[in-house]
Amino acid sequence: MSPRPDAPFLVACRNRPADRVPVWFMRQAGRSLPEYRRLRGTGSILDAVRDPDLAAEITLQPVRRYGVDAAILYSDIVVPVAAVGFGVEIAAGVGPVVARPFRHESDLDRLPPLDPEADCPYVAETVRLAVARLADVPLIGFAGAPFTVASYLIEGGPSRDLGRTKALMLGRPDLWARLLDRLADMAVASLRAQVAAGAAAVQLFDSWAGTLSPDLYERCVLPASAKVFAAVAELDVPGIHFGVTTGELLPLLAEAGAGVVGVDWRVPLDEARRRLGPDVAVQGNLDPAVCLAPWPAVEERVRDVLARNGGRPGHVFNLGHGVLPDTDPAVLERVVALVHEEGGR
């Protein structure tokens, strides 16, 4: 069964008035859920992702538990580069690590074009299984934006300042452009396969774009992400564009071609709206750390986010970044109920 086109999440993504404010949470499938920890065991997430039955089940867990308005595919932004053999692992509690980071022209040879059917058939299979089990709840597919994926390949692991990434960007603009273009093509191939398998919307995660000034973002990053969104437009599904600390970049995230812009909690939603104008839908933006506070404080902050949107169409309620692992699932359950109650018509 495919999701109804009038599902509140899809209607809000199209910037039209929905029956209620839809809500989902980035990283809703994850360590905050006891049922996730039980199913996952201790192996690498990259192994879990290669098991479609398991990955589809994990995708569904937060939908059952929270009653969220959308599911997000259980996968990771580094799955395509790992699938073509670049040599990426995900270290527990750390994130993606690369044994031989991207340094030279010759490293482009380690990034051949992605053929989803041959390189990672398990992703589309997970989408198919999840969509079949979800009935009318839309599934969000996703990819890492070229810049954020490049930052992992170049830094080799987490980095606070992305110094090597920026050095390559500014010192080897030719090589940088080729790298980003390749990663854009990989994201497009991956998103096409996910949508063909049944994903009803896609999100491009440019988590670390906020480390860039607007002029550098516009010159060195936006063209590659715009290429991804141009391909998404042809697929006729809503496209969401998200990054952290992107207050100064919000209009550029929209300019890249996204109909929905994800907003982190540092910019109040009314101000984000002012910067984005009326033609763009917004997603966000409760501070994930607020969910660790006692309920009355959470409730006050949820109401504040809703009030700042002021009933305008095109609001997808979410956190400003991913669910923190220590979050009590009962709190997220109450957040969903409150958003549905307050944001109903």
Q: Does 141 bind ligand CP3 (CB under 6 A)?
A: no
In the complex with ligand CP3, the residue whose CB is nearer, 22 or 30, is: 30
In the complex with ligand CP3, the residue whose CB is nearer, 101 or 313, is: 101
Known active-site residue 50: no
The residue from 18, 60, 66, 74 that contacts ligand CP3 (CB under 6 A) is 74
Whose structure tokens read 């607007």? 214
CB 14 within 8 A of CB 259: yes
Known active-site residue 76: yes
* Measured CA distances, 184 to 23, 25, 147, 297, 325 (Å): 28, 25, 9, 41, 30
In the complex with ligand CP3, the residue whose CB is nearer, 194 or 309, is: 194
Q: Does 214 bind ligand CP3 (CB under 6 A)?
A: no
The residue from 41, 93, 171, 296 that contacts ligand CP3 (CB under 6 A) is 93
| Options 2-10, 89-97, 126-134, 296-304: segment touching ligand CP3 (CB under 6 A) | 89-97
Q: Does 96 bind ligand CP3 (CB under 6 A)?
A: yes
In the complex with ligand CP3, the residue whose CB is nearer, 156 or 313, is: 156
Q: Does 142 bind ligand CP3 (CB under 6 A)?
A: yes
Contacts (Cβ under 8 Å, ≥6 apart) of 331: 291, 295, 298
Number of Cβ within 10 Å of residue 10's Cβ equals 22
Provide, rounded to whole angstroms, the least separation between the CB of residue 95 and ligand CP3. Answer: 3
List binders of ligand CP3 among 26-65 (CB under 6 A). 26-31, 40, 45
Q: Does 194 bind ligand CP3 (CB under 6 A)?
A: no
The residue from 284, 322, 329, 343 that contacts ligand CP3 (CB under 6 A) is 322
Known active-site residue 303: no
Percent of the chain that is helix, strand, coil (3-state, to 5): 50, 10, 35
The residue among 84, 75, 142 whose CA lies nearest residue 118 is: 84
Known active-site residue 31: yes
* Measured CA distances, 58 to 30, 87, 229 (Å): 8, 25, 27
The residue among 320, 326, 305 whose CA lies nearest residue 30 is: 326
Contacts (Cβ under 8 Å, ≥6 apart) of 300: none
Known active-site residue 219: no
CB 280 within 8 A of CB 305: no
In the complex with ligand CP3, the residue whose CB is nearer, 23 or 72, is: 72
What does the DSSP 8-state code read for residue 28?
A: -
Q: From CA 99, how far away is CA 81, in angstroms rounded?
A: 13
Provide, rounded to whole angstroms, the least separation between the CB of residue 307 and ligand CP3. Answer: 26
The residue ranges that bind ligand CP3 (CB under 6 A) are 26-31, 40, 45, 72, 74, 76-77, 90, 92-96, 142, 205, 207, 322
